[in-house]
Structure 1
Amino acid sequence: MDETNMSRHAAILAQTRASGKVSATALAAQLGVTVQTIRRDLRTLVESGALERIHGGAVPASGVGNIGYGDRRALHREAKARIAAATARLIPHRASLFLNIGTTTKSVAHALRNHSDLMVVTNNLNVANILAQNLRCDVIVAGGQLRRADGGLVGDLATMAIERFKVDYAVIGASAIDAEGDLLDFDAQEVHVSRAILAQARQSIVVADASKFTRKAPVRIGSLMQADILVTDAAPSERLVNACADWGTRITLA
């Protein structure tokens, strides 16, 4: 990489850290280059793990703080839709299931709108509102503290509500999955609920787009070892594929 590109990348990273989000159009004007050049720069920085793409620009890669809900919702929409469709095919009619907080599980809720005779327990108000449109689906909302940013219900009350059920399937998302197969998130209260969901299901399905394999988050939910199926849009590393084979965790590519 030449010095001009390195200098521009450094400027992009500095601007992203300062503002929390940058747009390709604004960066092009600020740095005096074309939007196409900035898009190539952003692609390089995303591939290096320094940034994450959102519609029209980028945000800093996650570490100890999650990306805002609106930006997360815009990330990898097509991949999430494919994952959701593949997951819905795994869920039969007349099943009971948990859906936890997350933009991918929200996509799964959309994909389940034509299922019949479901009972869905969720701590995700977005999921509840989507599935309320399906008159053949019973929706039970786990009470808890409302997290206004994303409609999540967390805390001890939510955990206690989840523990009252034993369902056929748990469908859970995570903010990151590391090389050891650990499922990671940012909010310890949310993690307690997700652990309860895993413990109270007969079968567990983890839904995660491929970007989750390169992200970081500080709080451990559990391990892919506890999951029956991982639904994703691209194969993880060979190391993780081999580990899943050893654990009996099936990988389904959407």
Structure 2
Amino acid sequence: MSQTFRQPEILDIARRDGKVTVEGLAAHFGVTLQTIRRDLSDLAEAGRLERVHGGAVLPSGVANIGYEERRALNQGAKTAIARACAAEVPDSISLFLGIGTSTEAVARELLGHRSLLVVTNNMNVANILAANPDCDVIVTGGSLRRSDGGLVGPLAMGTIRQFKFDLAVIGCSGLDRDGDLLDYDIQEVGVSQTILRQARRTFLVADHSKLSRGAPARIASLADLECLFTDRPLPEILVRACKSWQTRVVVAPQPSAD
């Protein structure tokens, strides 16, 4: 396979898994380690990947990847995470669902729930839950972020402050090894922090790729949450930290390969 065909597939694998290794790619493509190193160097020079020891990761940067690309990323994992999360959402509660493709997956898994009051700053979540006649939906208002249907800014935060939610489900753009939740948009960070203050319980839904992505703004710590729903075991350093914080970690069953 030529470089022209290898490099787009390398990027696809990096987006799916969050990182790539030289040895893994060499075995996958049946080429030498040196050939893969050249590919990764080319992609790093083009700003598509960041080189790390033994491979490469998606670039941290200061801007999130596109919404449609995020929606397609790790779809099976997001569905498994959403099902595990929705299974712990009781009927007859007040619930906040935040911005993100993972929270949208949770919304789809709530279509059979009953007597929910859902407040959201995510236009996509509102449209999904409109199909559940036993769910009252309140949209916060705010400045529309056209890239993904998110509502942010002072109006969104002001609406959120009028509620005290039984449960909030949020996402993040990155999760570092200190257990900090990260994001790219400082306005969204402000909204997320307001949600945390107004919720009695908070769940985070985040697939494994978030552990390989950096972002410049801090939302909160896993120590501030009740539970993280993800699709792969966490690094041991985070496992120990979550135990000390009494933050539960639920690793969702992997989707079938059939």
Instruction: Give the TM interval when normalised to the shorter protein.
Output: 0.7 to 0.9
Matched, 1:10 2:41: yes
Q: Which amino acid aligns with 2:212?
A: T
Structure-2 separation of matches of 1:173 and 1:156:
20
Q: Which residue of 2 aligns with 1:176?
A: 174
Superposed counterparts of 1:59-74, under 5 Å: 61-74=59-72
- TM-score of the pair, normalised by structure 1: 0.82
Q: Say whether the 8 Å CA contact 2:40–2:55 is kept in structure 1.
A: no
Q: Does the 8 Å contact 1:49/1:214 carry over to 2?
A: no
Equivalent runs, 1:185-196 vs 2, <5 Å: 185-196=183-194
The answer for the alignment partner of 1:97 in structure 2 is: 95
Q: TM-score under structure 2 normalisation? A: 0.81
Q: Is the 8 A contact 1:176 1:184 kept in 2?
A: yes
Any idea what SS the aligned residue of 1:3 has? helix
1:124-173 Cα deviation digits (max 9, x unpaired): 00000000110000000001000001000000110010010001101000
Once the 2 structures are TM-superposed, how far is the Cα of residue 67 of structure 1 from its aligned partner?
A: 0.2
SS of residue matched to 1:146: strand
Residue 235 of structure 1 deviates from its aligned partner by: 1.3
Query: Could you say what secondary structure the match of 2:163 adopts?
Result: coil
- Cα displacement string for residues 97-125 of structure 1 (whole angstroms, at most 9, x for unaligned residues): 11110000000000101101000000000
For 1:247 and 1:228, how far apart are their aligned partners in 2?
A: 9
* Count of aligned pairs: 219
AA in 1 matched with 2:193:
R
Residues in 1 aligned to 2:199 and 2:149: alpha-carbon distance in whole angstroms = 23
Partner SS state of residue 116, structure 1: coil
Q: CA deviation at 1:95?
A: 1.2
Distance 1:229 1:7, change over 3 A: same
CA 1:49–1:222 in 2, change beyond 3 Å: closer, same or farther? farther
Work out the CA distance in 2 between the residues paired with 1:204 and 1:48. 35
Q: Output the amino acid matched with 1:192.
A: G
Task: Quote how far apart the aligned CAs of 1:201 are.
Answer: 0.7
How much does 1:6 deviate?
2.1
Return the letter of the residue paired with 1:50. Answer: V
Does residue 48 of the first structure (1) align with residue 46 of the second (2)?
A: no
Larger relative CO (CA 8 A, sep 6+): 1 or 2? 2
> 1:123, 1:48 → 2: CA distance?
37
Question: What are the ranges of 5 or more consecutive residues in structure 2 without an aligned counterpart?
Answer: 1-31, 253-258
1:213, CA displacement in angstroms? 1.2
Q: 2:79 aligns with which of 66, 78, 81?
A: 81
Equivalents in 2 of 1:120, 1:152: separation in Å?
15
1:48 shift after superposition = 3.3
Gaps of 5+ in 1: 22-43, 52-60
Give the aligned partner of residue 224 of structure 1. Answer: 222
Code of the aligned partner of 2:228: L
Shift of 1:192: 0.5
Q: C-alpha separation between the residues in 2 aligned to 1:136 and 1:166?
A: 20
Superposed, which structure 2 residues align to 1:145-184 within 5 Å?
145-184=143-182
Does the CA contact (< 8 Å) of 2:40 and 2:56 recur in 1? Answer: no
| Whole-Å separation in 2 of the counterparts to 1:142 and 1:135 | 20
- Residue in 2 aligned with 1:25? none
- Structure 2 residue identity aligned to 1:84: A
- Partners of 1:235 and 1:78 lie apart in 2 by 16
Q: Is the 8 A contact 1:205 1:229 kept in 2?
A: yes
Identity of aligned residues (%): 52
Provide the secondary structure at the position in 1 that maps to 2:232: coil
Output the aligned Cα RMSD: 1.8
Q: Which amino acid aligns with 2:234?
A: P
Q: In the alignment, which residue of structure 2 is the partner of 1:56?
A: none
Question: 1:207 deviation in Å?
Answer: 0.6
